[in-house]
Chains A and B, each alone.
Chain A
């Protein structure tokens, strides 16, 4: 039997993602402090989230509700009775010297999102923020940090996937789907730059086609999907190189620097924490009642994956367009409201939305403009039925976005309506008469020469004529 040398083997990546989502509740996980959005440091704190002696946690009902929604969105099995655990370690951003989290009996297990299986979903509290000291600089020659406890105690849901991802691109895509899904549910801002969505990747490689799992490393601190993808790719490359050279991989935590593309080790195995988990005695178990489950179920909107499927199937939209509209629920909502029951228009409306409207509105919410969904659909219908030209339609769209109103009124006010049939025929005849050379060329087989005549007609009609229609009329008259 031939044994393939490491250098010659093909390796496949095995990737799992660990996600932390900050919930959009009004208060923290275990105390009544309001959540912070950039307030002055240490202004949203209380004895509980500061870890004062004698204080006790009390669980936020809405955080549990959101947690259940998330677990159900993935089709997880909801634990009939899940408990909190203490995860013990020392760090200045951890006021109690332990984080209240969930360990072996989490809120939900075994689900799926897209192609990826979800291992578990659980609730926990966020740590505070450590800011590197500015003017306070150094004490006794050592550098200092300042702790801001505003963020400490913010409710988090941790989602862990199975190592089902097989490429960095797939991981980034999964991240986007997850973000769109959670955003649609309204449970979080899921903003990677702001830290309400945090994704860490566990990466390992193995010989292609095998089932063993290699040494895995943890990649942290990537704050965009692009960086996530690049970081994972870099790590896969790094691991492959080491293995091909016959080296050994260390289980470690790495930081990816997108600027330099380099990976640096944050922690090695020796410093691995012994968290000494034990059940949190200050809290009682969560045993979701029928009422709680029903409320979570009812609160789930149509999720992006399902919506994309439906748009593709029922409205016969192209897959990419369906995905775009499903991932941006504000756009999907706008388009579906515009189409309403006029399914025949669906394709065109979606097309105009993802092209013309998107070009004008950019990343914002179309319903935040003055444009009404019905007006949008009416406009598209006018173009489709050739009542106005496409370029006239664009002009009308600009007006509707800015000032609202009905397309028909705007068309009339601006005189953008189709030229009257008779009027147009006269203009075409005149143009043909004025351009005999072009006519010659067309008859000689040089079709492009028609452009000059079309151009003349368009100028005369101030763009109101439909280019295709004009061309047809010219060809008809010339007899080619």
Chain B
């Protein structure tokens, strides 16, 4: 039900590296879970509204007033690689 290729595609979307031996095991485990998940299709859900919000609230809004945040030191404190006042990363689309 979910094959190797799909596993690799989904892993790519999720930026998860899966090794070769992991792929097959994943495919098997995920297939089993999805099989159970699909039992939902036994139900007649015609005309049922999906629940996208659990609380019955609307318009929870914040006043447009600045609040103190973090200092740069605090912001960069936990950075794996801080440089030039920012968070350094390999450039996208570069090699």
Contact = CB atoms under 8 A, between A and B. Distances in A.
Interface of A: 25-27, 31-34, 40-47, 49-50, 58-64, 81, 83, 90-92, 130-136, 139, 142-149, 274, 276, 279, 281, 283-289, 292
Contacts of A136: 83-84, 88
B64 A41 contact: no
Contacts of B59: 284-289, 292
Contacts of A130: 92
A379 to B, nearest CB: 43
21 contacts: A26-B65, A27-B62, A27-B64, A31-B67, A32-B66, A33-B67, A40-B85, A41-B86, A45-B70, A50-B70, A59-B60, A61-B62, A62-B64, A63-B64, A83-B52, A133-B83, A133-B88, A144-B83, A284-B53, A285-B53, A285-B59
Interface stretch (B22-30, B31-39, B71-79): B71-79
A146 B69 CA distance: 20
B73 to A, nearest CB: 10
Ranked 7 nearest A-B pairs via Cβ: A32-B67, A46-B69, A62-B64, A61-B61, A146-B86, A279-B52, A34-B66
Contacts of A90: 15
B51 to A, nearest CB: 10
A61 B53 contact: no
Contacts of A26: 64-66
A131 B69 CA distance: 22
Interface residues of B, number: 36
Interface of B: 13, 15, 52-55, 57-67, 69-72, 75-76, 81, 83-92, 94-95
B56 to A, nearest CB: 9
Contacts of B66: 26-27, 32-34
Contacts of A83: 52-53
Contacts of A50: 70, 75
Contacts of A285: 53, 58-59
Given A27-B65, A33-B67, A92 B89 contact: yes
Main secondary structure of the interface of B (DSSP, over half): loop
Central interface residue in B59, B69, B70, B88, by most chain A CB within 10 Å: B69
A27 B64 CA distance: 6
Central interface residue in B52, B57, B64, B90, by most chain A CB within 10 Å: B64
A43 B87 contact: no
A46 B62 CA distance: 16
B65 A146 contact: no
A38 B33 CA distance: 50
Contacts of A60: 61-62, 64
A145 B58 contact: no
Contact of B92 (A63, A145, A287): A145
A160 B57 CA distance: 29
A46 B89 CA distance: 20
A146 B88 CA distance: 4
Nearest to B10: A274
B3 to A, nearest CB: 18
Nearest to B14: A90
A32 B87 contact: no
A398 B61 CA distance: 51
Nearest to B64: A62
A90 B90 CA distance: 13
Contacts of B94: 142-143
Contacts of B58: 81, 284-287
Contacts of A81: 58
Given A60-B62, A142-B95, 19 more contacts: A26-B64, A27-B62, A27-B64, A27-B65, A32-B67, A41-B84, A58-B62, A59-B62, A60-B61, A61-B64, A64-B61, A132-B91, A136-B88, A142-B90, A143-B90, A144-B91, A279-B52, A287-B59, A289-B59
B93 to A, nearest CB: 9
Contacts of A148: 85-86
A43 B71 contact: yes
A83 B72 CA distance: 33
B60 A284 contact: yes
A59 B64 CA distance: 9
Contacts of A274: 13
Contacts of A292: 59
A25 B64 contact: yes
A165 B61 CA distance: 37
Given A61-B61, A287-B59, A42 B86 contact: yes
